[in-house]
Amino acid sequence: MPIENEEQIKDRYMFLQKFKKESRQFGAQRRASEAAAVSTAMRNMAINAGYQDVTRLTLRMESLVVQGMTEYFRPHEIGEVTVWLEMEDGGKCAVICEKNGKQLKSVPAKIKKDEYVLALMDAKKQMAEQSRRTKAMLEDAMESQEEYTWAEIRGMLENPVIHDMVAALVFKVAEPDGVKAELDNAADSIMSGANELYDSKNIDLRNNSDAGDVRLDNARGESAGVPSQNVVLGFATEDGFNVFVETTAGDENKHLSDDTKLTVAHPFHMYTAGRWHDIQKYVFDNKIVQPFKQVFRELYVKTEEEMNMEHSLRYAGNQIQPKKTLGCLKSRHWVADIEDGLQKVYYKENIVAQIYALADWFSPADIESPTLEWVVFSDRKTGKDIRIKDIPDIIFSEVMRDVDMAVSVAHAGGVDPETSHSTVEMRKAIAEFTMPLFRMTNVTFTKNHAVIEGKRANYTVHLGSGVVHQEAGPMINVLPVHSQRRGRIFLPFVDDDPKTSEVLTKILFFAEDNKIKDPYILGQIEA
């Protein structure tokens, strides 16, 4: 269909968004089919309207939506009452009502049916939907490493609905070598050594004793491995790009050219840059509320043992409830296929991630909880399995995070109990009583985690799944060795539950991390 003007594009855009939203009420297959239809329609509309891609179309349309509602931000009198919209902290939109200079708690009943009030309430609803769409878009952009120009990011900052979201996120300069001059002299410390790296193609740098080796793995265009120094991270502000210089946020804002490309930074970038902990501290100290988990997001890195494998066995043996698994993963773009099971497709990279389990994902009732076997990655076009070392690090981390969430939320089994609130509380109580018996004073507890202050590093152990994370670091892969005497590990309590035993054992194990001798685990801690 021909496109006559931007208003027509906006109307079609809003129709597609409404269509996509309404598809949530249907099953997984129909939802996936309608999402694919919307994606195709958006792509065709972007081409016909002359936009570079769907992302650019989306940014422009969302901007037009706000522009069409500016009048509702100005006070409007209806009798004795003045009403208008106002943006609150966190990007939430609120209806403000005043009478005789005094703010009212809600819209008076006598004007609720007023034509202007109805339009104002509809505008508030649309802004809430825009906030939700933008949040999802930015999180997806972090995972896919979608590139935005500095001009586009400044445009997002001008949008009152999404300003707070964008300002709270850490961005990464996509091509740091190309913006050295634009970051002024203060950014030179971040970029030192980058020219030698790229000019010589010598991948090994030893800038200091703490940095270690720098390794870039170009498999499928991703960098991987150990701390890298050519990473520019910072926050987007109205005054410029606030760059992190070494361990602190830059005091001065740096001016980038409009065409400088940036991406939403992933924890992997902060980790490899060696600045993750410092950024976490900065966010915490400045009370920055992020729209989704970014700086404090769980990170999963490949181990040396996994590199040449085509299947990840990290979660093998965990029993899951199919319906709960689908429920918690559907928002993360996982789809249940009749033939291929539960899978997530990365179209840009042509990678399909699949969770393999002998499960009937479409059964109306969970007759028997299946056991996870492995997670496999394959080429979307050929169907051939891909070695884990060839999977982009961010994709690997996000897939493992999704599986970890499924195991934590939808865990079940005849031997291992459901990871419910009561189970977590039970394990927390057991652990709290157990620690003094072993004279452990370096373990504290939150709602769902044991927090361990070790000698080598600090750790958290999830009381439900038993997953171990290093503070400002990745997940530590620890595979329990089960035997015929499963669940009968000696601990000072009577319990045949092997998962509780596993959780307690891990807490005790990492509480004395100075005694760890296993090279596999030490290698992960010291990476």
Alpha carbon 384 to its chain's center = 27
Burial of residue 484 (CB within 10 Å: 0-12, 13-18, 19+) is exposed
The rounded percent of the chain whose pLDDT value lies above 70 is 76
Q: How many residues appear in the chain?
A: 527
DSSP 384-407: -B--GGGS-HHHHHHHHHHHHHHH
| Residue 244 confidence (pLDDT) | 73
**Alpha-helix runs per DSSP H in 287-367:** 322-329
**pLDDT at residue 307 is higher than 80:** yes
| Residue 192 confidence (pLDDT) | 40
Q: Which has the minimum average pLDDT: 164-168, 204-208, 436-440?
A: 204-208
Q: What is the DSSP letter of 371?
A: B
| Residue 492 confidence (pLDDT) | 39
Give the residue-averaged pLDDT of 15-22.
Answer: 82
Q: Are 160 and 66 in contact (CB under 8 A)?
A: yes
3-state SS class at 103: strand
- The amino acid present at 135, given as its one-letter code, is K
Closest CA to 401 of 143, 148, 227, 170: 143
Is the pLDDT higher at 92 or at 450?
450
| Residue 265 confidence (pLDDT) | 94
With b meaning 16 or more CB within 10 Å and e meaning fewer, what string describes 507-519?
Answer: bbbbbebeeeeee
Give the residue-averaged pLDDT of 205-234.
Answer: 42
> For the chain, what are the domain ranges?
6-68, 70-132, 145-285, 311-400, 421-525
Strands (E), 282-441: 311-312, 319-320, 335-337, 341-346, 351-357, 372-379, 411-412
Q: What is the DSSP letter of 357?
A: E
Q: Which has the minimum average pLDDT: 60-74, 206-220, 384-398?
A: 206-220
Is the Cα torsion angle 182, 184, 188, 189 positive or negative in sign?
negative
**In Å, how far are 58, 123, 226 from 93, measured between CA atoms?**
21, 9, 43
For the segment 235-294, what is each residue's pLDDT rounded down to a tens digit? 999 888 888 743 344 445 677 888 999 999 999 999 888 888 888 888 878 888 888 889
| Residue 236 confidence (pLDDT) | 92
What's this model's pTM, rounded to 2 decimal places? 0.68
